Structure 1
């Protein structure tokens, strides 16, 4: 995608294969800052502390982190230790483990001397596969938007939650890919952007992305979605996902479940953009089995933003002694999901449909 008319990705490998460059997303939308990560330790920190975030981007970044570690040592013990350590950076998004498992499958059979270049090749392949998958998700999701536009005049109103845009992937995004392709196809469009507390990824990231692309959008408080649906102002909901169970339960940013309930109550289609790399066939019951990351209470009790002088500052919004809980994700049961938009096409959120779905390719 483009920033100020210039093509940009949130992750790219340096040509010398000695570092990767990422956008530090903690600083958006106030400042666009690139960071050079030259060690696996730096990659681990960037994932853990959410310089990079979004399931597909976490996976690709971790793959490069493993490649960086093999620049230092590539024997069997070093390979396994680095993979275990990177896997622990964040627990919920399955793409991290999926990418590392794909790397290990490629690297374990090789002699140590061949592993580092092969690791960089495989990490590059994971990144480019993500771009292709997201572009395909966009094409399949575009059909939904075109069908709504054909039925009536006016813009298609889409509600989304959190940031499942190109900042959360290597390019295109998942939930935003159909939006960008609809815009390119001339489909009139308007996006309701949930603020997405507590980290405000909708307000800080999705609104910034859509603004850069010229997509009409309106920022709303998280609790406004149900009201908008009640009054016929949402045609469909499209969200991303961090993990999908074998029967179609969807783990995504906290608050997604409430949007799905409101959509079901108001007859609004609820779609999930799901790269097949996000499907976890080892988990059946998403509510019971997906590990939910509990993040710092400070994300709930404090906010950051620009002050009148243009400086980024943090403010407290709760009494100092307040105890806060911060589950980062929730799980939407498959029965509330209208369909899963994958790079292979749109499928139902059922065990049968997902069992027949080929893996990433």
Structure 2
């Protein structure tokens, strides 16, 4: 049977990197296809439902905010012919430079919203043989910005404890910290809490909560009613409807009972599984994680709540790329010349960028 396959040199990228890859095509029966087309597409998109509002269309439908940003959408033929593609096996090498400052691959869904940042590369045969198509996700991790790491993973404070509002009993100091500045979804992090208590006031409990905060921004309100009503409703709402506030959800918590010890040291494991990653660079979507450390005292006194942030929680690996197996016929492919936007020069084809792709012989310098 006729078959199409696609492979890139990596499964994970950051904005500004170049994607190197190849499209593999087997034609073992007569086809109507006359070429091969390649497409790179990356976007972010969200919807947010507004409920309990007075902004109704009269039909009982509620309003929805939508926001979308196309980060790139490039589709060009990499091979064309006036005649159907002849029988044989072919490989078409390509390269594409990703735009800089791309937000991380992301998906999160709540009761009132769904937000997605997605990237992929697609290939298809041009012509009537529309079943010959293939796609592969591109997982994007954000570039680490050093300024976001400063002081984000450590909180330190010292509070004076007074008796009867004026007599000094001593101090209670709290130091909370994360073990790393960067994690990947699936990792286990550690929150360390160290407390020094020079007073006679006992600690009631120590609570640590992690909250996800999703911001949906720069969207436009639309109406789910009929088109005519939606147009009127959208015009009315555009001047009055604001952006939704931060969508906050608790995703992890741990409470430890209090103690009279003068020195308390805790190390709390945090499993970062099944979570969407941190997004700092989104145009419509941002996502952050805040870890709140609260020390309760057995009195009417309270200590300021400490705040930690996870600067980077990266998306997990590209499972589709990891699990890919080359078809048996790939080794027989004849290399074809690609022209245009995705073309690759012959000297690049001999470099390490193509080392892991089937059929490419890479020159390795002796060191």
Query: Shorter-chain TM-score category?
Result: under 0.3
Structure having the higher helix fraction is 1
Q: TM-score, normalised by structure 2?
A: 0.20
Q: TM-score, normalised by structure 1?
A: 0.21
Higher RCO (CA < 8 A, seq sep 6+): 2
Structure having the higher strand fraction is 2
